[in-house]
Amino acid sequence: MSSFYGASGGDGDDSTWGPGACTSLSQLHGMKRLTLGQVIGKKRRKEKIVMCTAYDMFTARVADDALVDIQLVGDSLANVVMGEPRTTAVDLDTMILFAKLVQKGSRRSIVMFDLPYGTYNTPKEAVATTVRVVQETGIQLVKLEGYLPDVVREVQRHAAVCCHIGLLPQTATSFASTGSTAADAERLLQQAVDLQEAGASFLVLEMVCAEAAELISRNLRIPTIGIGAGAGCDGQVLVIHDMLGLCGPGTKVFKFAKRYANLYDMAVSAVGTYRAEVVAGSFPKPCNSTFMKPAESEKLSAICSSGVRAAIDIKALPSEGSTTDISASKTAKTCSAGLESSSDSNEADSREPYKVCVWGGGRMGQLFAWIMAGSISPPVNGDCAEWQRMQMRGTEVTICTSREDLIAACVRKRGMLTALQSAGAASSAVPSDPESGAKHSFMLTNEMVQGGCCASGAGEQRRVNVISRKAAESLGRVFDLVIIACNSGDTQPIAECAFGVARAEGIVASLQNGLKAPRILRALHDRLLLSGGKPSPLVFMPTSLAAAEEEPLHVQKVGNGHVKICGHMHRASQKAEELYAMLRARGVSCELLPWYKLDEILWEKAAVNCCINPLAALLNCANGQLVDPRMELTRKLVVSEVVAVARAKGIPLTFVCII
């Protein structure tokens, strides 16, 4: 057994590992795989070991990104993947096939192979099975059920061994708890000690009474992993399908299998929405399709109006002796009429303006209303046809607010919203190049003018509508984009209204900072989705843009800020891309991140706010002054506290990207 520890440093080589050592998923994917010594050392450090099952690349990557220590390729795949009633239905060949997928998908976690029923009846057979597993999968940790010290002594010479006592699913005739009496607990303790002395590295305790499991854990040097064995074990294991709610209704779930999500219902809802859109003809949309350049489209129209008829006349000629009567001219007219009808429909769609609702009449709400009401710049290396369609369609921006002074100002100023640029800042932020790989820090892009808010230029006026909340609610689901820019305390009622006025295929985007408001929004979105509703995809865009309100409908853009765009759940990824393209086309510096980075960027923004807001208030200075090198130590001390809390909650927050 020593070879498996010595190759990676052994139990003593864990000084660089601990809570928060992994700082980001990008670093995680470049990190070396955990060693047995590092994981076993957690028992000595009194840190819990996290283990769950994995059966393919998807579940392996999920477990990896969630920082799980051990992934078990369990024979439970017979139940949750193959649909068999007993785990004995899976054979060694099938287990090896799935184990290869897990080993390929995981990069950080240790992978454990569950030896299937009937493959380790004797020490010789167990060794042969283990050697095959190691050679074909590369996995060097195997699990076997039962009190088999003789088998363990032989197998541990070829791979590390995890033993399994208590309830044994492969041979159990009932699923009652074990260790429920003092005598039974003593028997299990003796078995555990014997297996440890035989060379086991881990011990799984299944359905063992909590008192007995805690007693066993205290008296062993090796870690115990509990499943239905109480909190006194050194670690816990769950079947990932039970944990995520993937098995669907009618599936028997044990008491110990806590459900942390209900992905089955969410998946059914998503696929049902897809089916409904296909049947209704609303999918795919233009954003899901590719189009010709305008010149090529005109050529095709010319061909269809002239050349197609001749082509059809030739192809439609009946063969000799045929009685089929084909009217080529009628077919050509139908084709031409169809193209004209399609063209008219596209023109009608292009005439319908893109409707944006900014919910919140504060300075940031007014700033983003002004941004969205602006003209769009032609792409440098993009889809010119799409840009032309966006130009033809235009944008109609509405601010929804409870501020009577803003509504009155809209009437007085005839809907003209003015934005000034602060002195020392560029007239428009330069869009970031997504191909360059450059990353932006909220701290470094929040460069406010140190001398105060001094306006430069007369400002630019853009037309917006301002309506009351009651008026907005009566419109129905008419908006393509709803931007929430309200105070955190108003999030719940305004979020409900926002989802009520946004189209099902539209976007609900949030500018809100902190952690409470995003949590409320995500919970509301998920509740609507699980109840069978069709909430708009939810996108978050934490930003370091800032503004000051001179008077109603007259704001001043302060500094050169940056926007990070990230969708909630994978279903929002496409909408996040659309929002990213819209902001870039309007000259906003922004960055698009994958949906699984959402928690990370929300915590990153929270860390920056915890640094900027109190320090700027206490020191009576502008935010930009905090970027001064003399403030670096103070910034680090404040932000490090937030980073520590985030890491303790499993958020792989990167300290460097904030400071």
| Residues tagged active-site | 206
Report d(CA 499, CA 536) in Å as an integer: 7
Report d(CA 489, CA 586) in Å as an integer: 30
Listed residue (69, 17, 23, 20) closest to 600, CA to CA: 23
Listed residue (511, 465, 464, 471) closest to 491, CA to CA: 511
Query: Residue 209: how many CA atoms within 13 Å on its side-chain side?
Result: 14
Token pair 């050529």 is found at: 299
Residue type, 363: R
Query: What is the SS3 assignment for 434?
Result: coil
Report d(CA 494, CA 486) in Å as an integer: 8
Could you tell me how many helices (H) and strands (E) the chain has, helices first? 26, 20
CB 129 within 8 Å of CB 91: no
For 123-161, b/e burial (b = at least 16 CB within 10 A) is: eeebbebbeebbeebebbbbbbbebbeebbbbbbebbbb
Task: Give the gyration radius of the chain's Cα atoms.
Answer: 31
Listed residue (401, 418, 518) closest to 458, CA to CA: 418
CB 145 within 8 Å of CB 118: no
Report d(CA 484, CA 579) in Å as an integer: 14
Contacts of 338 (CB under 8 A, 6+ apart): none
Residue 263 exposed, middle or buried by CB count within 10 Å (0-12, 13-18, 19+)? middle
Task: State whether the Cα torsion 275-277-278-279 is positive or negative.
Answer: positive
Residue 295 has a CB neighbour count (10 Å cut-off) of 8
CB 81 within 8 Å of CB 55: yes
Give 648's strand partners.
none
State both tokens at 536.
Answer: 């708009």
State both tokens at 365.
Answer: 């709400």
CB 644 within 8 Å of CB 610: no
Contacts of 429 (CB under 8 A, 6+ apart): 560, 561, 562, 587, 588, 589
